[in-house]
Structure 1
Amino acid sequence: MTIHMVSPLFVGRAGELAALGDALSRVRAGASSTVLVGGEAGVGKTRLVEEFTGRAGDALVLVGGCLELGTEGLPFAPFSAVLRGLVRERGRDGVAALVPGGTTRGLARLLPEFGEPDRDGAEARARLFEQVLGLLERLAEEQPVVLVIEDAHWADRSTRDLLSFLVRYQRSDAGLLIVVTYRTDELRRTHPLRPLLAELGRVGWVSRMELRRLTRREVVEQAASILEREPNATDIEMIYARSEGNPLFVEALLSEAGGGVALPESLRDLLLAGVERLPEETQELLRVASAGGQRIEHALLTAVSGLDDAELSSALRPAVAGNVLVVDGEGYSFRHALIREALHDDLLPGEHTRLHTRFAQALERDPSILPAPRGAIELAHHWHSAHDATWALVSAWAAADAARKSAAYGEQLRMLSRVLELWDKVPDAAERIGCDHVDVLYRTVTVAHVAGEYERGIALAGAAMKELDPDADPIRAARLLRKRGIIRYDLGRSGHIDDLRQAAALVADGPIRLRAQVMENLARMLHATDLWPERIATAQQAIDLARQGGDPTVEARALIALTWARCRDYTEVDAHLGGFAEARRLALGADAYNALLACAISESDTLEGAGRHERAAQVAREGVAEAERYGVARTSGAFLSINLVEPLVSLGRWDEALDVIEHALDLVPPPPYQASLQGMGMDIALARGELDRAEELLDRVRAVVSRGVFRDQTMLPQAEREISLLLARGRADEAREAAVRALRDDVPGAGPRYVWPLLVTVARLGEPLPPELAAAAGSTKVQGAVQRAHHLTFTALTGLGPGSSRGAALEGVVHPAGGDVSADGAEAGGGAGRRLQAWDEAVAAWTALRQPYSEALTLADAARAALACGERQEAAARVARARELAEPLKAAPLLAELDALVGRAQVASGRSRGAAGPDGAPVGSPLGLTARELEVLRLVTAGRSNREIAGELVIAVKTVSVHVSNILAKLGVASRGEAAATAHRLRLFAGPQ
């Protein structure tokens, strides 16, 4: 009888194999494709991929596996493996010729063969990501490329980030198929791969498949292929019952039992049974190898075992023949990770410590055994696993530096955190690493910031400041304060300006370049209107210092801050925009992508504030593309997406704006950026009448805003949204309370750009208008065309124009609930004519700005003013134009309001009197309500109960209840309060109730 160790026949995966083949066909046809292949351990993921790649024809197959190392994988391990394989096949120069830009200094972070890496920082990581993607795309120009990343459940954070970048940002016609395998049974609820899989699952060209266990029939086929005979029914029942259809367990059971003898009781025993049949010296060597991970180099195993090449090969040969180990390049891999895990778990505590110590000592003796940075990181792992605090600390410090050179900031942060954890256990820690505790804290703060761990960075900076005396050590204190100030600013926390001002004072006589950096940071964060003179002076000082110190990057950023401040009044933007162009030139010359993106952020923001919506969108869109190219789509790219959404909303391109929001949120940007994007999504939801969606988004934004201190560009739009949603829900009193809070707490000191939209929102609440409204309007400047349009709208709503007093102004204001329109639509006096003229001026301002929604809103108000003047044809023309603008926006509440205006115009003209539709509603009656339903709604809006309405209309309470139910159904609302709010918003009834 013959027993194969692995089934020669590939069983039960025809559908999955076909799906992978279809994905490759799509790639050949010029589409992007990624397949995520999940399944429990032993279910056959690797076998499926091997079968598929074996049939991939002329495609170039690149395979890299994530390597387990403690609780995290090795940084970029699969990509280093892929690159190493390419170098073996094509040579270093051959690979270098394919790298975009001709420089391989980014790839040097993965393989030392490419020389010295370029400079550190976020720019390095961006360049590395871009070069890996560019290399793959260049390869795919020659032939289709299949990139296989195996065992992604072991991927470290840097590997996950690069994988996400490759999937998302490859060209749609790149000719690249990415296949990712992972263990589903490893993905506990907090596993870091879970959010990545969810994120990638929303990408259009990504598909997921999960390998099921084999059926009983398929197990029979697999067993027959292994045994070279049909198994008998008794054997197959036992095999199927014990394996539950897992192919690896079927193989192990058949191998151990030979088809009929007693089987091991546990899975662990089953996996170890194949090992225990091997010679004792082979078993011992396998136990040694298990401490080295899933894959181990021949040279390292030789060094750890103490055997020479011949002895090692002789001892390992039975393991290879028994299919426990497989030869893998210059080393060996366990045929399945479960076998290694079973061996390693079987080690006694003393054996565990001794083996990891032997690995660490071997790597100490000859660091060249493993390539950098893998050697340094594995050394740290082994000393840590050996529970040697001193050498665990020393090796973690070295591993952090190695991770930095690889731009693996997550791993670097983990190693530095380990140093801090072990510090008190090593009395001479500072002497061992040549760095005191404060310096370790500072370095960890810096890495936490780059890695996006803002909260941790702030906490660590605070801990470091407690250990310092600023008077005795001003320079280090200033560096820490500067770093904490930047992180606080990025997170939206208070105290950032105080930190930077204190840092500036500490370095007044310090190094020029540090002074320039601190002054530039401070200038960038001085946003309040009353601080603009300080911002301009501070930015100019930073420019001068940067020029003295020869730092073009800081000079560019300071010039951006200066230009932004000079453009804040939006009246002479063209005279200052050249500052952005000069900053861009400096940033490009210094290869400073951060400054380049900062320039795009400030320029697009300035253009939008000035009403140059198309140009603002163009600059922001180009910035988003640049951020994606540099690999910072999640941070700078998300911020630029905010700056792109804002002009798109202004231009009425709402569906496009929602697409941008969705794409940016899929990247899981920092919480403040998420809040801004979701807030803009809420603006659209409110305008479209999607109140539940708006409330959901508002709750998400609140959760972020409540945890920090934010600038007026966040807080004032948030206040607008709160007020508008409360009013839409029929909670007018609460809306007024929210308005008073905003005018009292948020408006003082805020810039005019965000104050005027809030004032307009508050003015639309109607009487009683809060006294703070007049004070805010009187103290807020008007700067630029957009603010002028808001001011004209505000003046038309309230009459609170220049030189007006609140009492006089409000005395003749059209009440926002609809104005006092008589039966024939006429209104006495010239006040109505003046109001119509004011509204027409506001309409003209919004028309010039090409903001269709704002134009449509003011047209509706102008139509009401025209009705008040008895100008029914003029009102109809304005309503028709407003409809043209509102319909493409799907602005349902505004469209309903326009319908109501049409009905009022018809009632006022007398055309609908006596005419009734099939349901008894007068022709042209608002929202299809009958005359009696309108009467009931008027009284509901006035706050009457059903019994009070019945008494006033001399009808039964039950009849009132029926009318109210009909009204709610026709208005599409759920409560009397919402019905009243709708009537209020649509101005269905004249005058105060």
Structure 2
Amino acid sequence: MTADTARPGGRAILDGVESRSPSPVFVGRAAELAELSAGLGRARAGVPQAFVIGGEAGIGKTRLVEEFLTRARAEGAVTATGACVELSAGALPFAPVSAVLRALHRRLGRAVARAAAGHEAELAGLLPELGTAGRTAGEPQDRARWHELITRLLERLAAARPLVVTIEDLHWSDGSTRDLLGYLFRSVHHGTRLLVLATYRTDDLHSRHPLRPYLAGLDRLRTVRRTELRPFTSAEVAAQLTGLTGAAPAPELLSGIHARSEGNPFFVEELTAAGQGTGLSRTLRDLLLVRVEAQPDAVQDVLRAVAAGGHRVEHRVLAAAVPRPESELLTALRTAVGAHLLAPTGEGDGYRFRHPLLREAVLDDLLPGERARLNRRFAEALERHGDLVPEDERAARLAGHWYHAGDRAKALPAVLAAADRARHRHAYAEQLRLLERALGLWDGVPPAVLAGLRPGGRTGGHPGAGPGPRPASLVDLLAEATGAAALAGRPDRALTLSGRALRLIDERHEPLRAAWFWAQRARVREGFGRSEGHAELDRARDLVRGLPPSLVHAQVMALAAARLLAERPGPELFETAERAAALARLVGGESVELDARITLARLRADAGETAEGLAELSAVRDRILARGEVGLLGRCLVGQVSTLGLAGQFSHVAELSAEALGLADRYGLADTRGRLAAAHANALVQLGRWQEADAALAAAGERAHAVHPRVAALLVAGHLAVLRGDLAAARAASADIRGEIRTPDPRPAFVIELARLDVATAAAEGRTEAAREAFARAASGTFPPFSSPQVWGLLLAAADAEAAARGRPAAAPGRAAALARIRQTMKVRPRKPPTWSAHALFVEALLLRAEGRDAPAQWAGAVTAFERLGLPHQLAAARLSWAEALLGGPAGRTAARAEDRDQAAELLRSARATAAALGAEPLGARARKAAARACIDLAGPGVLMPAAARDPFGLTRREREVLALVAAGRSNRQIGEELSISQKTASVHVSNILAKLAVPGRVEAAALARRLKLVPAG
């Protein structure tokens, strides 16, 4: 969707602007276009239609109309358009009607002449092509007669074909045109295939505009549908930018353009043309200023003051800052509001520009001296009257006004006070912006002012220059800015700022200060995925070694423990974390102690004490929130989610990660959002909620600014692609991951997960040798502690590859060695959590299959294990493998025993149903192949039920029997005894019934069965 385009004849705000190529893609307005298309359908059926569409300049009215008219013509309709024209001496009477009639004459020729037969002289004033005018358009003797003639002319033209008449720019219409349209809306006969469409600009309708009462009258007509186009959403702006530039916009660019344009499509185009949305093009600035410059001088002066006052200005503030009598000020404001340049604020206590770009244009037009003078007036007014604005806004507004006034001595203290208040609100991006502004002011501030400043905020252990109060230094300011950049998700800025500080510090005389900055660099560099910050952390440890206990020393030790936990867990990890906690307690640094407690809690959970570790992490989180230690909150949230994932509690992961994402959004933790979004997506994949996972992965991609969150999301996306059978996407994800991880020794979890993705992809493509090589590379060393979840996934992928290759002679030579390697890796893997033990059973069954020793009992055990976990794809895969084993293996004979065959059929149906629900095409294809080989009908047994007894859920005869027993309160064991089937087969039937009925449990299934009479009453 693009803005209304310029036309000759006067388009006011859009007149004379240079023409730009509109977006080649029609964006948004689907509902409006559908409503117009439906109206055309009704008109084609002989029910006349009328639509009136409003919206601000540039909102896309013309593009919507053009798109609709193009489709209408493609469907056989005749279209004609006329536009109202603004002239300095007044509007031209009937100008759009005359344009419509001329367009119809060009398209239909003789048909128009026949429709006007007998009234040519009367109509020639509007359509000279009919002959000599007997009456002119400007001097009709009987206006009502003219209305009747034009209406009947259009009715005759619309009798044989749909006719669409469009009148644009009603805000410039003359009274005659409005009267004619009103008559037309009320008087067109039923059976006429006519659709009338009119547009107008809402921002041109001042309080006394004649179109206002006219529109109110139209609202009372049932035959007229009126709508107002809304601004574009962020997603629609993204689509428009993609169409304009040929590439999806970066999140920062999209956010900036959407905010500045407020979703106005024309402004989006102009901002993009101005250089990726970084400024105002000359065209756009001139366009916006046209209406400002048309106002009296007093109004322009007030508009400049409001622009300098901020995004909104309270009336009391404006009155205090603008030296004008109250009556003159009110008159100017009323004029500006009536001209749609200003609008009252939502609270009703002040004013704002109707569009932020209009304020930008006015500000850009100010001379430097004008802007400084206006800002000084506002700053002095705020200082004189402390109650003019809310207390929580006063610091920020004073900082902005003194800064733009050019008074450094006043601006620096005000900016620092505003930054400290932003930190208290957890607005770290705003805090960073203010602190960087303070850095720019620092050198020009008199020494006497600097001497009065004190260090503000907390910097997580940044040491002072000595005991007692002291003046703030440039290094203090850089420490504050470094911390804010890290919390705002700007590691690049944190590295730049800390590097500048280290150049100012003499490490021999201030080792603790230097160590603090090196530790911050180590922490933020982790997100780049390059050196991982090892050199920086080593430097910090060297600087504190041998010094007396200190808060910085404790912080460095806590950071070292956290790094070991993530990358190189070993015997020294617990000792390092304990030492960090002890040091923190000794020096009274609770925030550092909380950091160490997070590491210790995760160690405890990884050692098998999951509940205890989670309880400790929950307690730490509560304490972090109570203290406001937001810098630690992200690590604690990620630790909670990771610990639950380690234990395979994916339903809890989904719940907790959603809650944690809310906290991360609330406190502006940019890097944490990406990590949590990836964990949330993985949990949804495991739980079979794949469509939700797609949305979560898209969010993770938008939120992940650092390398590690991006890699985590790519891994989830790659695994999901394999499950869906989209191997091209899986290969692309693997390539992207390798492009992101450039270090020789990235995180072990990533290495293992990437190997699993490579093994699964190669196996799905039938490249058994490549799968073996990928597994051998990953298993060539020793897997680090705390990597069991990833290792079990890798083992499952490797064993599955071997089982799938059983029937391929080419894969036989290396099979024995590959199986031995898998078994050797399994030996030392812990199996305590239920998820790991279920995976172990699955792997063992796959290995037996790979050796040609398929064991139905082994598969039955795997199915039982997965039934407790709520992991639908794994359970369906286990059931499918069990069915194949009962039928003699994936490539074997069909089972001889009828009971085995019946049980296999139910297992195959259950697996197929799950695969269809998930969209797991490889699993579904395998189930269909096994069923075809065994001549099993996956739709159900061959005996058809009577039509009267069929249900809408597709239950088989056996399932209805089982459902009747479920409704009678029987257990699986009792159902098996009554129907002479095994308990496990009964369980499969019950699971299949719950899936088909889409209910969570047996109680709900029984209630639904009774209500719908799916089972006999009683």
Does the CA contact (< 8 Å) of 1:529 and 1:749 recur in 2? no
- Counterparts in 2 of 1:844-859, with a 5 A limit? 846=866, 851-857=871-877
Instruction: For 1:418 and 1:483, locate their aligned partners in 2 and report how far apart those are by CA, in whole Å.
Output: 21
Cα offsets for 1:407-449 (capped at 9, x unmatched): 4322221122223345566696965855333322221111112
Instruction: For 1:567 and 1:372, locate their aligned partners in 2 and report how far apart those are by CA, in whole Å.
Output: 46
Instruction: For 1:657 and 1:460, locate their aligned partners in 2 and report how far apart those are by CA, in whole Å.
Output: 38
Cα offsets for 1:729-773 (capped at 9, x unmatched): 456665556555545699578833312322442352654659798
Mean Cα displacement is larger for which, 333-342 or 415-424?
333-342
Match of 2:309 among 288, 292, 298: 292
Match of 1:527 among 557, 565, 584: 565
Describe the shift of the 1:894–1:879 C-alpha distance in structure 2 as closer, same or farther (beyond 3 A).
Answer: farther
Instruction: For 2:442 and 2:612, locate their aligned partners in 1 and report how far apart those are by CA, in whole Å.
Output: 56
Q: Write the letter of the residue equivalent to 1:533.
A: P
- Counterparts in 2 of 1:341-380, with a 5 A limit? 344-356=363-375, 359=378, 370-372=389-391, 374-380=393-399
Deviation at 1:633, TM superposition (A): 8.7
Deviation at 1:715, TM superposition (A): 3.2
Instruction: For 1:773 and 1:390, locate their aligned partners in 2 and report how far apart those are by CA, in whole Å.
Output: 75
Instruction: For 2:493 and 2:640, locate their aligned partners in 1 and report how far apart those are by CA, in whole Å.
Output: 32
Instruction: For 1:450 and 1:756, locate their aligned partners in 2 and report how far apart those are by CA, in whole Å.
Output: 35
Cα offsets for 1:575-609 (capped at 9, x unmatched): 76664566567567767788787666545543443
- State yes or no: 1:897 paired with 2:849: no
Aligned to 1:485: 522
Does the CA contact (< 8 Å) of 1:497 and 1:526 recur in 2? no
Deviation at 1:898, TM superposition (A): 3.5
Cα offsets for 1:896-939 (capped at 9, x unmatched): 224434555679xxxxxxxxxxxxxxxxxxxxxxxxxxxxxxxx
Point out where structure 1 has 5 or more consecutive residues left out of the alignment: 1-12, 20-36, 46-213, 231-243, 256-264, 800-812, 820-831, 908-993
Instruction: For 1:410 and 1:589, locate their aligned partners in 2 and report how far apart those are by CA, in whole Å.
Output: 22
Instruction: For 2:520 and 2:767, locate their aligned partners in 1 and report how far apart those are by CA, in whole Å.
Output: 45
Deviation at 1:783, TM superposition (A): 1.0
Q: Write the letter of the residue equivalent to 2:420.
A: D
Instruction: For 1:751 and 1:250, locate their aligned partners in 2 and report how far apart those are by CA, in whole Å.
Output: 67
Which structure has the larger Rg?
Answer: 2
Cα offsets for 1:796-850 (capped at 9, x unmatched): 5558xxxxxxxxxxxxx947xxx6xxxxxxxxxxxx37x7777666666556656
Aligned to 2:291: 271
Instruction: For 1:295 and 1:353, locate their aligned partners in 2 and report how far apart those are by CA, in whole Å.
Output: 18
- State yes or no: 1:689 paired with 2:725: yes
Instruction: For 1:502 and 1:512, locate their aligned partners in 2 and report how far apart those are by CA, in whole Å.
Output: 17
Deviation at 1:635, TM superposition (A): 6.0
Does the CA contact (< 8 Å) of 2:551 and 2:589 recur in 1? yes
Deviation at 1:480, TM superposition (A): 1.9
Instruction: For 1:225 and 1:707, locate their aligned partners in 2 and report how far apart those are by CA, in whole Å.
Output: 76
Indicate the SS of the match to 1:872: coil
Aligned to 2:427: 408
Give the TM-score normalised by structure 2.
Answer: 0.52
Aligned to 2:78: none
Q: Write the letter of the residue equivalent to 2:895.
A: R
Deviation at 1:512, TM superposition (A): 4.9
Match of 2:574 among 536, 539, 545: 536
Indicate the SS of the match to 2:480: helix
- Counterparts in 2 of 1:164-179, with a 5 A limit? none
Give the TM-score normalised by structure 1.
Answer: 0.53
Describe the shift of the 1:289–1:742 C-alpha distance in structure 2 as closer, same or farther (beyond 3 A).
Answer: same
Match of 1:471 among 496, 505, 508: 508
Aligned to 1:461: 498
- State yes or no: 1:783 paired with 2:830: yes
Describe the shift of the 1:856–1:460 C-alpha distance in structure 2 as closer, same or farther (beyond 3 A).
Answer: same
- Counterparts in 2 of 1:773-922, with a 5 A limit? 778=824, 781-785=828-832, 786-791=835-840, 793-794=842-843, 814=850, 832=853, 846=866, 851-857=871-877, 863=884, 866-867=888-889, 872-873=895-896, 877=903, 881=907, 883-890=909-916, 891-902=920-931
Describe the shift of the 1:547–1:772 C-alpha distance in structure 2 as closer, same or farther (beyond 3 A).
Answer: farther
Instruction: For 1:273 and 1:556, locate their aligned partners in 2 and report how far apart those are by CA, in whole Å.
Output: 60
Instruction: For 2:590 and 2:176, locate their aligned partners in 1 and report how far apart those are by CA, in whole Å.
Output: 69
Aligned to 1:451: 488
Q: Write the letter of the residue equivalent to 1:887.
A: A
Does the CA contact (< 8 Å) of 1:645 and 1:680 recur in 2? yes
Does the CA contact (< 8 Å) of 2:529 and 2:746 recur in 1? yes
Q: Write the letter of the residue equivalent to 1:753.
A: P
Aligned to 2:1000: none
Pairwise CA RMSD = 5.5
Does the CA contact (< 8 Å) of 1:43 and 1:248 recur in 2? no
- State yes or no: 1:558 paired with 2:596: yes
RCO comparison, higher one (Cα < 8 Å, 6+) = 1
Aligned to 1:958: none
Q: Write the letter of the residue equivalent to 1:540.
A: E
Instruction: For 1:341 and 1:646, locate their aligned partners in 2 and report how far apart those are by CA, in whole Å.
Output: 44
Cα offsets for 1:363-420 (capped at 9, x unmatched): 6677765554544444444455456667665654444234334443222211222233
Does the CA contact (< 8 Å) of 2:55 and 2:202 recur in 1? no
Aligned to 2:171: 219
Instruction: For 1:371 and 1:743, locate their aligned partners in 2 and report how far apart those are by CA, in whole Å.
Output: 63
Does the CA contact (< 8 Å) of 2:481 and 2:494 recur in 1? yes
Aligned to 2:76: none
Cα offsets for 1:188-227 (capped at 9, x unmatched): xxxxxxxxxxxxxxxxxxxxxxxxxx95462256x65999
Q: Write the letter of the residue equivalent to 1:784.
A: R
Aligned to 2:436: 417
Instruction: For 1:746 and 1:245, locate their aligned partners in 2 and report how far apart those are by CA, in whole Å.
Output: 72
Q: Write the letter of the residue equivalent to 1:443.
A: E
Instruction: For 1:447 and 1:779, locate their aligned partners in 2 and report how far apart those are by CA, in whole Å.
Output: 45
Does the CA contact (< 8 Å) of 1:563 and 1:579 recur in 2? yes
Indicate the SS of the match to 1:784: coil
Deviation at 1:681, TM superposition (A): 4.1
Cα offsets for 1:285-323 (capped at 9, x unmatched): 665555435654566556655x4x7x4645664664675
Does the CA contact (< 8 Å) of 1:389 and 1:426 recur in 2? yes
Mean Cα displacement is larger for which, 531-540 or 694-703?
694-703
Point out where structure 2 has 5 or more consecutive residues left out of the alignment: 1-28, 36-52, 62-165, 182-198, 211-284, 454-470, 806-810, 937-1018
Deviation at 1:687, TM superposition (A): 1.5
Match of 1:676 among 712, 717, 740: 712
Indicate the SS of the match to 1:275: coil
Instruction: For 2:607 and 2:361, locate their aligned partners in 1 and report how far apart those are by CA, in whole Å.
Output: 70
Does the CA contact (< 8 Å) of 1:782 and 1:788 recur in 2? no
- Counterparts in 2 of 1:110-125, with a 5 A limit? none
Describe the shift of the 1:846–1:351 C-alpha distance in structure 2 as closer, same or farther (beyond 3 A).
Answer: closer
Describe the shift of the 1:590–1:500 C-alpha distance in structure 2 as closer, same or farther (beyond 3 A).
Answer: same
Does the CA contact (< 8 Å) of 1:859 and 1:879 recur in 2? no
- State yes or no: 1:719 paired with 2:671: no
